[in-house]
Copies of this chain bind each other. A is one copy, B any other.
């Protein structure tokens, strides 16, 4: 920070409100008002301020503004596995919606390590975020509690521990999983299987549980394969092992589209199974690849648009205002990986 000999303002690249005021021939307060929607200021002085600001290339310093106002405008998104189709799409919608509502989004990539979450939490606090949204499925109890303690607004996506003061947004996993089972049974499949990862995310667990329940209610047993990450490779391996077994399944519900694509490739490419005639597959998420010709997977769509819109409303309106937890429908997307009911 350099300073001229005579004590004149240092030569930053940024103009300050002070300088704008000087040039416009108004007070420092007037400049503030010109950039505060709804502030009482005459058209005349506003025009003068705007002219001076434009000339000087002035940009309100939101750091300083955040110091005085209630809001910093910052919303933190805590997320792992950003590169995943579902999460990156959600991130896309969320960040766009949040921006349109006048917020700025800070992404805290929590990775997989537990320690990173603590770091993310600290940043959230250090930058005085107005709200933080946890997208990941792993239960970040510590981060949740600390944010609440600091009076931050907290939205939890796809989690099942309902911390008081928190808003929980989820998808109707139960309904979808039951639908999957019903679809298989109605179409005549009988040797059901479920493929999941070793990751015990609340969503994944819910899908698993309800699929099993629905099958059991119909007197049908379900083979279960679980392992690895929630990724294509796991699905490929799971599908392969399932089909190599003695009584291979003729229908598998993969708890995620990524897994489903792997299962599909195992079935078709490694075992030459015809889909959906010899084996039916259903996934979850409706990622882009589910619609690709090589897969054409029947699945359930994540309502990312609705989730994003609702989140924005929560962040803007506050959770006290009668807002509550919400469960979104995940509509079935019919494609060709399951035989249709006759």
The reply to whether B92 and A83 contact each other, CB–CB distance below 8 Å, is yes
A23-53 interface (Cβ within 8 A of B): none
Residues 193-204 of chain A, each 1 if its beta carbon lies under 8 Å from chain B, else 0: 000000000000
A93 to chain B, nearest CB (A): 8
Binds B, one of A130-138, A179-187, A214-222, A285-293: A285-293
Checking B67, B95, B262 against A67 with a beta-carbon cut-off of 8 angstroms, the contacting residue is B67
Residues 60-89 of chain A, each 1 if its beta carbon lies under 8 Å from chain B, else 0: 111110110010100000000111110111
A200 to chain B, nearest CB (A): 22
Instruction: Give A264 to B1 CA distance when docked, in angstroms.
Output: 58
A85 to chain B, nearest CB (A): 7
The reply to whether B288 and A269 contact each other, CB–CB distance below 8 Å, is no
Chain B residues contacting A84 (CB-CB under 8 Å) are 88
The reply to whether B127 and A104 contact each other, CB–CB distance below 8 Å, is yes
A1-26 interface (Cβ within 8 A of B): 1, 12-14
The reply to whether A128 and B91 contact each other, CB–CB distance below 8 Å, is no
Chain B residues contacting A174 (CB-CB under 8 Å) are none
Known: A1-B70, A88-B83, A88-B88. A265 touches B288 (CB 8 A): no
Instruction: Give A89 to B87 CA distance when docked, in angstroms.
Output: 11
The reply to whether A232 and B13 contact each other, CB–CB distance below 8 Å, is no
A120 to chain B, nearest CB (A): 8
Query: Is A106 interfacial (CB 8 A cutoff)?
Result: yes
Instruction: Give A269 to B266 CA distance when docked, in angstroms.
Output: 18
Instruction: Give A131 to B306 CA distance when docked, in angstroms.
Output: 33
Query: Is A294 interfacial (CB 8 A cutoff)?
Result: yes
Checking B1, B60, B96, B292 against A265 with a beta-carbon cut-off of 8 angstroms, the contacting residue is B292
The reply to whether B269 and A128 contact each other, CB–CB distance below 8 Å, is no
Instruction: Give A61 to B66 CA distance when docked, in angstroms.
Output: 10
Binds B, one of A107-115, A154-162, A244-252: A107-115
Known: A95-B82, A119-B99. A128 touches B236 (CB 8 A): no
Query: Is A317 interfacial (CB 8 A cutoff)?
Result: no
- 11 more A-B residue pairs beyond the given contacts A13-B152, A83-B91, with a C-beta to C-beta distance below 8 A: A60-B126, A62-B126, A62-B127, A64-B67, A82-B95, A87-B88, A99-B108, A104-B108, A104-B123, A268-B294, A269-B293
